[in-house]
Amino acid sequence: MTLRVVFMGTPDFAVPTLVEIVGAGHEVAAVYTRAPKPAGRGMDLQDTPVAREAKRFGIPVLTPKSLRSEEALAVFLSHRADVAVVVAYGLILPKAVLEAVPLGCFNLHASLLPRWRGAAPINRAVMAGDTESGVMVMSMEEGLDTGPIAMAERVPIGPDMTAGDLHDRLAPLGADLMLRALAALERDTLTLTPQSETGVTYAAKIEKSETRIDWKRPWQDVHNHIRGLSPFPGAWFELGDGSAVVRVKALRTTRGEGSGAPGTLLDDRLTVACGSGSVRILELQRAGRQPMKAEEFLRGNRLARGERLA
């Protein structure tokens, strides 16, 4: 038996789940994703990663701005789906849509719920210094990531792991988890467990205002901030370049040795003093350039011990 599925997702994180569902032989009636956005030097409209993958499979792609109209509901019902699978879609599903499929709507969420409900669970987990994360399949309801849990997988967060590293670990793991959940749903053996009412935290969307590095914070906080925003949107500092000031993103760091005035370079290896302790920058990206290792960066940017990073 195969299921007739409506898939709803947008970013790279959702692509492995779509691929696994198609590969397992389920019939994907339609893919819902966000509308194309201008990007690149020419600012041409570009499809989302999920839209590109859906078109490769020849699956119809829909990009409604909202699902709350009667017309949107009628279109959704016309797919005659058994189940909806939602992975980082980006639009709220109203009650009418949640109730429009016989077997329900199931969401893949990249945290250990109820911790980090909301938009940026991977970034927030790393920024908070969590030592564990995971993926969960939950049955959706009207609340924000409040539905009962069907399946879960846990993974450790290493001390220097970035949000990008965790993303790349969780995406295929989540795809496999969703496939297992759909198989159990077919067999009518899927069990749901209500979320705990304790330990609830919210993963708010990352704002530009919180991306600048504050070297006055303790080294661990600075390190977590940098790796939690890597590779995107990126935590940054400013570097004097003659008469100009250049913005530089720090992409990878580790604990450094030594201490000093916050923002001061302690050696010629990009070790930067923090409010207490220090971090050593391992990888960084100058504005308009490609990411590079610290050694490569230093060959083109002479930085001396005692210089200050703003």
Q: Structure tokens of 108?
A: 């893949």
Let me know whether 96 and 15 are in one domain.
yes
Single residue among 202, 229, 263 that ends a domain in this structure: 202
Let me know whether 25 and 173 are in one domain.
yes
Burial class (CB in 10 A: 0-12, 13-18, 19+), 300: exposed
Single residue among 151, 180, 202 that ends a domain in this structure: 202
Instruction: Report pLDDT for 114.
Output: 98
Instruction: Report pLDDT for 43.
Output: 73
- The closest alpha carbon to 304, from 276, 266, 273, 275, belongs to 266
Let me know whether 100 and 170 are in one domain.
yes
Neighbouring residues of 159: CB distance < 8 A, sequence distance ≥ 6: none
Instruction: Report pLDDT for 243.
Output: 66
Let me know whether 87 and 45 are in one domain.
yes
Instruction: Report pLDDT for 287.
Output: 87
Instruction: Report pLDDT for 211.
Output: 98
Instruction: Report pLDDT for 241.
Output: 61
In a domain, 307, yes or no: no
Let me know whether 190 and 230 are in one domain.
no
Let me know whether 161 and 215 are in one domain.
no
Let me know whether 10 and 99 are in one domain.
yes
- The closest alpha carbon to 303, from 256, 279, 269, belongs to 269
In a domain, 170, yes or no: yes
Let me know whether 172 and 233 are in one domain.
no
Structurally, the chain folds into a number of domains equal to 2
What residue numbers bound the domain in which 281 lies? 208-300
- The closest alpha carbon to 50, from 29, 78, 19, 23, belongs to 19
In a domain, 305, yes or no: no
Query: For each of the chain's 310 residues, which pLDDT tens digit applies?
Result: 799 999 999 999 999 999 999 999 999 999 999 999 887 677 788 999 999 999 999 999 999 999 999 999 999 999 999 999 999 999 999 999 999 999 999 999 999 999 999 999 999 999 999 999 999 999 999 999 999 999 999 999 999 999 999 999 999 999 999 999 999 999 999 999 999 999 999 999 999 999 999 999 999 999 999 999 999 999 999 987 666 788 999 999 999 999 999 999 999 999 999 999 999 999 999 988 999 999 999 998 888 899 999 8
In a domain, 269, yes or no: yes
- What CATH number does residue 222 fall under? 3.10.25.10
Instruction: Report pLDDT for 49.
Output: 97
- What CATH number does residue 132 fall under? 3.40.50.170
Single residue among 151, 174, 202 that ends a domain in this structure: 202
Let me know whether 93 and 44 are in one domain.
yes
- The closest alpha carbon to 154, from 182, 138, 175, 131, belongs to 131
Let me know whether 261 and 178 are in one domain.
no
* Positive/negative CA dihedral, 292, 294, 296, 302: positive
